Copies of this chain bind each other. A is one copy, B any other.
Amino acid sequence: MRRSFISMAVIRRLPRYYRYLNEILAAGVKQISSRELADRMDLTASQVRQDFNCFGDFGQQGCGYDVAALHQAIKSIIGLDQGYKIVIMGAGRMGCSLLEHFGFERRGFQVVAAFDKNPELFGKVVNGVTIYDVAKAEEVCAHMRPDIGVLTVPSSEAKEACAVLKKIGVKAIWNFTKGELGVSEDEIIVENVHISDSLMSLCYQLTEKEEALYGA
C-alpha cells in the first residue's frame, strides 16, 4: 500500500469516509462515484479522489468505486483490522462507561485489562474485562503486550498513570484527561479527547449568529 506522508487533514477525514462507507454499504449500494460520495459528505469530487489516491488506485475509470472494496481498504489503511490490544487506565465512571458502551470489540479492538488504584474495584469484571490493581500492571501486561492505553483517571493523576502506561510499553494513548501529558510524540502517540471543545465551538457559532442578528 502506498502511504507517503499523509497530511493531518487527510487523516482526520479517513474516519469520516469509513463511517459514510459503512452506511452506504449497509444501504446495499455496490458502486459509488467520487461525485456522489462528495455530495453526501459535503466535499468536492476532486478532494475525494485526491484523498483516496494518497493510498493507491481504488477506483475504476468510468464506473467509480466498489463500495465494499473501498470500505475494506480504508478499514485496513486505518488499521482497524489489526486487532490492536487496549488497556483501560482508570476504571471509574468514564472508564467503565467506555467499557460498557463504546463497543471496542465491535470496532475491531480487543480490551485486555483495566487498572485502577481503588481496592474496591480489584477483581471486578466489567463487560468481560477484569479490573486489576494498577500496581500489578507490569506483571499483568508482561505477556499481553497492549498497543493502546485509554487514560481515564482523574486529571490530577494523569502524569502518574501516563508513566505506568509508558512502562507497560503502549505505543499510543487515548487521553481523556485534561491538560497535556508531557510525553514526546516521538515515543508515544497521544490523541487528546476534549469533548468540551466541541460544545465551546458550538457555543461560539451560536454567539456569532446571535450577534449578526441582533447586533454586537
> How far is it, in angstroms, between the C-alpha of A188 and the C-alpha of B199 when the chains are bound?
15
Our pick among B14, B171, B194 for the contact of A15 (Cβ within 8 Å) is: B194
* Size class of the contact patch on chain A: 35 or more
User: Shortest Cβ distance from A86 into chain B, in angstroms?
Assistant: 9
Our pick among B82, B179, B189, B207 for the contact of A78 (Cβ within 8 Å) is: B207
A135 at the interface (CB under 8 A from B): no
Chain A contact residues, majority secondary structure: helix
The contact string, 1 if C-beta is below 8 Å from chain B, for chain A 182-216, is 00000001010111111111111111111100001
Our pick among B19, B84, B93 for the contact of A97 (Cβ within 8 Å) is: B93
Our pick among B19, B172, B203, B211 for the contact of A202 (Cβ within 8 Å) is: B172
Across the A-B interface, the 8 shortest Cβ-Cβ residue pairs: A79-B207, A191-B202, A15-B200, A15-B197, A172-B206, A78-B204, A79-B203, A189-B205
